[in-house]
Structure 1
Amino acid sequence: MTTGDAEGTTAGAAEPSATRRPTRSSAVADGFARFCAAVVRRLPFGLSGIVPPTLLGFALINGSTFGFDLLLLTALHGGLGLPVALSVTLAYGCALTLAFVVNRVFNFRSHAPVGRQAVLYVVAVAINYAAFVLGVGAGLTELGVSYQLSRILAGLCEAAFMYSALRWVIFRRRGSA
Structure 2
Amino acid sequence: MEVVVRYLPFGLSRLVPPSLLGFALINGCTFGIDLLLLTLFRSGLGWPVPVAFTVAYVIAFGLSFVLNRALNFRSHAPVGPQAGLYAVAILINYLAFILGVGSALTALGMQYQLSRIVAGACEAVFMYSVMRWVIFRDAKPG
Instruction: Output aligned runs, 1:9-28, within 5 Å.
Output: none
Alignment counterpart, residue 156 of structure 1, candidates 121, 124, 135: 121
Q: Aligned with 1:62: secondary structure?
A: helix
Tell me the equivalent position of 1:77.
Answer: 42
Q: Which has the higher helix share?
A: 2
**Number of corresponding residues:** 139
Contact 2:5 2:21 in 1 (8 A): yes
Residue-by-residue CA offset, 1:65-118 (whole Å, 9 max, x unaligned)? 000000000001100111111011000000000000000000000111000000
Once the two structures are overlaid, the 10-residue window that deviates more, 39-48 or 154-163, is 39-48
Provide TM-score, normalisation by structure 1: 0.77
Tell me the equivalent position of 1:63.
Answer: 28
Q: Once the 2 structures are TM-superposed, how far is the Cα of residue 38 of structure 1 from its aligned partner?
A: 1.2
Identity %: 67
Residue-by-residue CA offset, 1:30-62 (whole Å, 9 max, x unaligned)? xxxxxx111111111111011000000000000
Find the structure with the greater CA-based Rg: 1
The yes-or-no answer on 1:105 pairing with 2:70 is yes
Tell me the equivalent position of 1:90.
Answer: 55
Q: Once the 2 structures are TM-superposed, how far is the Cα of residue 173 of structure 1 from its aligned partner?
A: 2.4
Contact 2:93 2:127 in 1 (8 A): yes
Provide TM-score, normalisation by structure 2: 0.96
Unaligned segments of structure 1, at least 5 residues: 1-35
Unaligned segments of structure 2, at least 5 residues: none
Contact 2:97 2:119 in 1 (8 A): yes
Mapped partners of 2:3, 2:75: distance in 1: 20
The yes-or-no answer on 1:171 pairing with 2:142 is no
